[in-house]
Structure 1
Amino acid sequence: MNAVELFVGAGGLGMAVSQAGFKPQLVVDWDQWACDTIRQNQKAGLQPFASWPLIQGDVRQIKFTELDGVIDIVTGGPPCQPFSMGGLHRAYLDERDMFPQAIRAVRELRPRAFVFENVKGLTRATFANYLEYIRLQLRHPDVTAKPRETWHEHLMRLEDYETKGKFKGLQYNVVMRVLNAANYGVPQKRERVLIVGFRSDTGVEWHFPEHTHSRDALLWSQWQTDEYWDRHKVAKRNRPKDLVGKARAMKLHEQPAGLPWLTVRDAIADLPDPEQYPLLAAARFPDHRFQPGARSYAGHTGSPLDEPAKTLKAGVHGVPGGENMLRRPDGSVRYFTIRESARLQTFPDEMVFHGSWSETMRQLGNAVPTKLAQVVVQKVRDSLIGTA
């Protein structure tokens, strides 16, 4: 089955698409650093990057109608800069917003399905009207904006069309939900909004995958059975004094179903400490170098070792790497290395990243965890081939 991947970035969602068995016919991003990362891994022969038909350029200049063959799925994370929707302004006037291009790709390629992801902030009340506008455009991609029509007028026309219930032309059945990556085996509490659609003639019935991991299962393994500490060979005197977590665990009367959340320790325990053993760390693992300058202050305390990491960010208040720090049990902090951050985003160890530490952290902070994407995209593919 064929795929088109838009706004690929560092490739988190794109890798999941390829690993699910789709064959990319087009992979696009405008960012030079992200494309250099992909090209560097292509040069090294790392799959699935090696077989990607990558184009570095503006999606707005891509003529999707020139692609040959049937496209089964379109995926991507369209950049969606926050802007006020309070007035009756045309959303298309903000050139930073790429959702119109994602919708255009669906309209022109007519894929059997699509998967788009974005930040949780898109679901805030401030953007509720805009998110509904996106959903209705994806549901009815042929109902395009008229010349000089404002976004508000277009939204009302789409609502009229939707409630009338008599549809013509291209139509998709669309669902969307905010998913926490930690609930699917990612060692990071990262929430993303996923928008999934199936062309109406596919007849697919689909829902988002059930959770496989939970916080309660982690607390059970830490404070009811000690399995977590025993597995990591952490002596009792070195275990954190998590009174809140321990109290919650003691209220659990039976072992929770499913698997425990994965923690930072689970993700990086086998990596040499880059601060204590810099030469060993750099020699054994690519991009595993100590980055100085981390400091803790109110609201900026880093990720505890024995919990899933906080959301990795591209940068906070102009600080590269933001709060992307490890907080040790003794309270000291250091920045996560690039390799550790890649582990927290479930990128493979063989993958290398192009650019400085701050530039690479921007790529990683903007990415969707590959493992989260895999769970969703694999279920979409199974549904398309009738095996779900």
Structure 2
Amino acid sequence: MKSPEEHVHPLDEIRILDLFAGPGGLDVAAHFLGFKSIGIEWDANACETRYAAGLRTIHADVRAMREDRFDEIPTSVDTLIGGPPCQSFSIAGTGAGRRALETVKDFMQRLVHADDEAEIDRELDSFAEDPRTALMLEPLRWLLKAIETEGRDPYKVIVLEQVPAVLPLWQLYAELLRSGEGRLDGLKYEADCWTLRTEEFGVPQTRKRAVLIARLLEKGAIDRPEPTHLPFALNRRDSTKTDESEPLLPETKHRWVSMADALEAASRPKNPHVNGSRFRTAGKMRFFVVSNYGSGGNPRKRGQRQSWEPAFTVTGKVSRNKVYKNPLDYSAGKYDRFTIPESGVLQTFPRNFPWSGKDQAQQVGNAVPPRLGMHVLGMALRNEPPSEEELSAASTWPSVRPEVTGKLRALGCGDGSQCPPDSHKNTDSPPKTT
């Protein structure tokens, strides 16, 4: 496996374009599968993490790149991936996206069937309770742009992921891509979408993601990523059984990965980034986590997970969760918190991933778990899951020299003049990398 810094140049070898790239969950997955990628990211803090990790990045607004800077995307890109911001669709968000679901679907139909885009933009600006809702259209608009731009080939593979509430949009995406109608100009894709549970793919947390995979018909049928682990049934807390409504999985599946398993593995050998020894009691990793969610304002009603269970969904508020070694500590109000690297491990980022910039907890929570990404991209790009060797290698991130980080920052930000407005207003100098 090559170091990320060996992937900096040339740009014409890049296969994957990651819209809304965040700190790099899908790009990390692509790296460990051997694919080169470049990401577009609006948030300056996430960009700093990406630069420190050696991930090629353009610090820009996805819409502005499509409208004014499309020619900067390498022509070698044949795969479009991404997860548009989910706050307006997620349970934890405002719900504006859920209320606008049918309207967004209508805009998708209009885009494909050649309605005036300027008029669509005007209507989007006026209707959206949350402007981020309109970003759900961007992957479709990027596909249409590639089809209609001279000298560009259409994307051969498309991978999109989001919260489960977005599944109806992915279903419409799949329907439109299969049709080849309108501006798709007869171009047809094999496309399917599912809701996947992260713990069924070895991620030590319970989290559901709606995933779409589409490939040009010539690339063949698409298989659903096959779970490798048992699901976690909270109502039973039983590692051998599924939810009431689901059939038992074959015994050949691994048990889900617990928080203790993940942190213990990341702490060995002695690791300056992740040190779970403070959670050990009598030589064993024992603790329980009290969530910041689900309380209705009443701390006594907040959910709890034991160390031998998967974590709660890791969100941008993961640093607010409280970690207790025993009930006595709980009674005394004596608690610890997960560090940023530990939170990253619960997302399956490498234990030494160089989180940088500000709002690091938010970066961690916004990311796609790389291990899930490896399974999804593996099926999308080569129709097979990651190998055990690839998954094992994904526990450690190669070091990146400071001069490479500097080159990536120059590539992504330059003098800052093309970066999103005010995105550097609180940064007098580039943040230090770790």
TM-score category of the 2 structures, normalised to the smaller one: 0.5 to 0.7
Choose the corresponding residue for 1:307, options 309, 317, 341. Answer: 309
Give the corresponding residue for 1:111. Answer: 155
Amino acid at match of 1:29: E
| Residue 58 of structure 1, CA deviation | 0.5
Choose the corresponding residue for 2:84, options 73, 78, 87. Answer: 78
Rounded to whole Å, the distance in 2 between the matches of 1:116 and 1:338 is 26
Q: State whether residues 305 and 327 of structure 1, in contact with CA within 8 Å, keep that contact through their aligned partners in structure 2.
A: no
| Residue 254 of structure 1, CA deviation | 12
CA shift in 2, pair 1:171/1:248, >3 Å: closer
Once the two structures are superposed, the pairs formed by residues 227-266 of structure 1 within 5 Å of their partners are 245=238, 256-266=251-261
Matched, 1:96 2:108: no
Q: State whether residues 106 and 138 of structure 1, in contact with CA within 8 Å, keep that contact through their aligned partners in structure 2.
A: no
Matched, 1:143 2:182: yes
Give the corresponding residue for 1:338. Answer: 340
Offset from partner CA, 1:166-196 (integer Å, 9 cap, x none): x842222221111111101111111111111
Q: Count how many residue pairs are aligned between Structure 1 and Structure 2.
A: 302
Q: State whether residues 103 and 141 of structure 1, in contact with CA within 8 Å, keep that contact through their aligned partners in structure 2.
A: no
Choose the corresponding residue for 1:18, options 27, 31, 44. Answer: 31
Give the corresponding residue for 1:176. Answer: 193
Give the corresponding residue for 2:43. Answer: 31
Rounded to whole Å, the distance in 1 between the matches of 2:213 and 2:79 is 10
Q: State whether residues 289 and 337 of structure 1, in contact with CA within 8 Å, keep that contact through their aligned partners in structure 2.
A: no
Secondary structure of 2:327's counterpart equals coil
Q: State whether residues 287 and 338 of structure 1, in contact with CA within 8 Å, keep that contact through their aligned partners in structure 2.
A: no
| Residue 68 of structure 1, CA deviation | 4.5
Secondary structure of 1:284's counterpart equals coil
Once the two structures are superposed, the pairs formed by residues 1-388 of structure 1 within 5 Å of their partners are 2-24=15-37, 26-42=38-54, 49=55, 52=56, 54-62=57-65, 63-65=69-71, 67-80=73-86, 81-82=88-89, 83=96, 84-85=99-100, 92-93=124-125, 94=128, 95-97=131-133, 98-109=135-146, 110-123=154-167, 128=168, 130-139=169-178, 143=182, 168-200=185-217, 202-215=218-231, 245=238, 256-269=251-264, 284-285=272-273, 297-315=299-317, 321-322=319-320, 324-326=321-323, 328=325, 330=327, 332=330, 333-356=335-358, 359-383=359-383
Q: State whether residues 304 and 329 of structure 1, in contact with CA within 8 Å, keep that contact through their aligned partners in structure 2.
A: no
Rounded to whole Å, the distance in 1 between the matches of 2:23 and 2:236 is 38
CA shift in 2, pair 1:371/1:270, >3 Å: closer
Give the corresponding residue for 1:161. Answer: none
Rounded to whole Å, the distance in 2 between the matches of 1:205 and 1:86 is 28
Amino acid at match of 1:371: R
| Residue 302 of structure 1, CA deviation | 4.0
CA shift in 2, pair 1:87/1:143, >3 Å: same
Offset from partner CA, 1:278-301 (integer Å, 9 cap, x none): xxx9x82279999xxx88724423
Rounded to whole Å, the distance in 2 between the matches of 1:27 and 1:215 is 31
| Residue 257 of structure 1, CA deviation | 1.7
Offset from partner CA, 1:118-154 (integer Å, 9 cap, x none): 112324xxxx4x554444455458636xxxxxxxxxx
Q: Point out where structure 2 has 5 or more consecutive residues left out of the alignment.
A: 1-13, 90-95, 108-123, 147-153, 243-247, 279-289, 293-298, 385-434
Secondary structure of 2:161's counterpart equals strand
Q: Point out where structure 1 has 5 or more consecutive residues left out of the alignment.
A: 43-48, 145-166, 220-241, 273-280
Amino acid at match of 1:39: Y
Q: State whether residues 181 and 191 of structure 1, in contact with CA within 8 Å, keep that contact through their aligned partners in structure 2.
A: yes
Rounded to whole Å, the distance in 1 between the matches of 2:357 and 2:342 is 16
| Residue 382 of structure 1, CA deviation | 1.4
Amino acid at match of 1:260: R
TM-score normalised to the size of structure 2?
0.60
Rounded to whole Å, the distance in 1 between the matches of 2:47 and 2:29 is 17
Q: State whether residues 117 and 192 of structure 1, in contact with CA within 8 Å, keep that contact through their aligned partners in structure 2.
A: yes
| Residue 78 of structure 1, CA deviation | 1.1
Q: State whether residues 287 and 352 of structure 1, in contact with CA within 8 Å, keep that contact through their aligned partners in structure 2.
A: no
Amino acid at match of 1:378: G
Task: Calculate percent identity across the aligned residue pairs.
Answer: 25
| Residue 197 of structure 1, CA deviation | 0.5
Rounded to whole Å, the distance in 1 between the matches of 2:197 and 2:350 is 20
CA shift in 2, pair 1:350/1:88, >3 Å: closer
RMSD, aligned α-carbons = 3.8
Q: State whether residues 107 and 141 of structure 1, in contact with CA within 8 Å, keep that contact through their aligned partners in structure 2.
A: no
| Residue 17 of structure 1, CA deviation | 1.9
Give the corresponding residue for 1:153. Answer: none
| Residue 88 of structure 1, CA deviation | 5.5
Amino acid at match of 1:360: Q
Rounded to whole Å, the distance in 2 between the matches of 1:254 and 1:139 is 31
Rounded to whole Å, the distance in 2 between the matches of 1:254 and 1:38 is 38
Offset from partner CA, 1:345-371 (integer Å, 9 cap, x none): 111122121245xx1111111111100
Rounded to whole Å, the distance in 2 between the matches of 1:191 and 1:86 is 19
Offset from partner CA, 1:317-369 (integer Å, 9 cap, x none): xxx745x444545373532211111111111122121245xx11111111111
